[in-house]
Chain A
């Protein structure tokens, strides 16, 4: 499975280390909350709301350079909007990967 990286963050920071640290701190603060809301809504089978959560999470997936995972998130969001949970396991694997990665930063 592909691994998260900071390539995008480096590319747009222009070498501004303070900004990189600030952005990573924001992601580390925001991601767990978004993930928690996602798990709550999918457990409640509220798929339109879950799709909103996936939509928001997929930006962080792309920021962390997970291109293939991003495609999975896009497909999963569309599935949810059609009332299907296909790709749920794949998507949640991505969330675990990101969680582990953020803990190391």
Chain B
């Protein structure tokens, strides 16, 4: 994750930079002593994570967040715990570190930031189907490959330039086509039943006329695809 540090105290910036240097996935691009300079930088650079001090003169951390249209993930750093409730009113804030920050607590915050990337992925459209590896399908999210367990996928639906990948635990919106993902999914498990739908045959609950029920989704089966679907079923 590319990150920046915003803190008016040089000591705090040095500590956070040092803690970041111990985490392979973190790449500190810049440090700023105030939020104004950081705003200019963010207008021209893509950042995944910001370590942000709340308590800064003139322009607080919260003022800063309010100026961002699409804020990246933010870990607040502060000497006060009294802002914690206010902090979590912002979806972009993944954690709240009280100074002095310990390495253990810092690691925990980074894990939260990494986990937080997953649900964010469900609502973004900057993803691409990249590759498969055994039972896994990888999608590219913010220059990182996120793993999806293929057997957990029960439905893929085409929607314009995007596909919705529904799994047992989470849904992903991916900028791709049904044809591309069909090539990545195993034929013995998945079947295109309609020009807009691929289903996991193992997840079918029942079939009625020209539709199948998967989870709570009723999916249409086109006339041309019905014979192949029936062939796949272990019929009595």
Instruction: Enumerate chain A interface residues (CB-CB to B < 8 A).
Output: 8, 11-14, 16, 19, 22-23, 26-27, 29-30, 52, 55-56, 58-60, 62-63
Contact = CB atoms under 8 A, between A and B. Distances in A.
Contacts of B57: 52
Contacts of A26: 10-11, 14
B103 interface: yes
Given A14-B22, A55-B55, A58-B79, A27 B100 contact: no
30 contacts: A8-B100, A11-B103, A12-B15, A12-B19, A12-B100, A12-B102, A13-B18, A19-B18, A23-B11, A23-B15, A23-B18, A26-B10, A26-B11, A29-B10, A30-B9, A30-B10, A30-B11, A52-B55, A55-B55, A55-B79, A56-B8, A56-B9, A56-B55, A58-B79, A59-B12, A59-B79, A59-B99, A62-B79, A62-B100, A63-B11
Q: Which of B9, B10, B19, B57 has the most CB of A within 10 A?
A: B9
Contact of A12 (B8, B80, B103): B103
A29 B22 CA distance: 25
A23 B14 contact: yes
A64 B92 CA distance: 32
Give the secondary structure class of B's interface. loop
Contacts of B22: 14
Give the secondary structure class of A's interface. helix
A30 B99 CA distance: 17
Q: Which of A11, A12, A19, A22 has the most CB of B within 10 A?
A: A12
Contacts, number: 51
A51 to B, nearest CB: 10
A13 B14 CA distance: 11
A26 B17 CA distance: 13
Contacts of B19: 12
A53 to B, nearest CB: 10
Interface in B29-84: 55, 57, 79-80
B18 A59 contact: no
A100 B100 CA distance: 22
B18 A12 contact: yes
Nearest to B79: A59
Given A8-B100, A52-B57, A55-B79, A16 B9 contact: no
Nearest to B57: A52
Given A16-B18, A27-B11, 14 more contacts: A12-B18, A12-B102, A12-B103, A22-B14, A23-B11, A23-B18, A30-B10, A52-B57, A55-B55, A55-B79, A56-B9, A59-B79, A59-B100, A60-B11
A62 B78 CA distance: 12
A22 B80 CA distance: 26
A96 B102 CA distance: 26
A37 to B, nearest CB: 11
